[in-house]
Amino acid sequence: MPDGTLDEAVVLLNPRVVGESVDHDEQYEGCLSFFDVRGLVSRPLLVEVEYATIDGERTVTTFRDAAARLVTHEVDHLSGLLYADRMPTDGRLIPVEEYDDRGQPWRYPAGS
């Protein structure tokens, strides 16, 4: 997980973001909450998340790049937020049909 990848299931019980980098990037996100649109969302490139393990121990894990984006997206749901709530006020949701023409997979520098 430290390299930003999620190669296995991640279980975060009662997670909360306790730290984040100043550096952010903008990428398109989608969600099953309204899966027919996408939107540009700025998220931190690094987040520290405190959570309980299955054994009830509190721990902190650092997530980077795509993993940071995924984790913050999901933690937002626990606070009742959707990615559209993180978009700028002048941001626009893009229909999937339009997004398909210009959508790109999330890209992060190798080794970041």
Domain boundaries, the chain: 13-102
pTM: 0.85
Instruction: Tell me how far the alpha carbon of residue 14 is from its chain's centroid.
Output: 16
**What is 13-102's CATH superfamily?**
Peptide deformylase (3.90.45.10)
**Closest to 93 in 3D by CA, of 29, 43, 9, 25:** 29
User: pLDDT for 16-75, tens place per residue?
Assistant: 999 999 999 999 999 998 889 999 999 999 999 999 999 999 999 999 999 999 999 999
Q: What single-letter amino acid sits at 79?
A: S
Residues 6+ apart with CB under 8 A from 95: 36, 37
Kindly list the catalytic residues. Answer: 74
**Closest to 17 in 3D by CA, of 64, 57, 61, 65:** 61
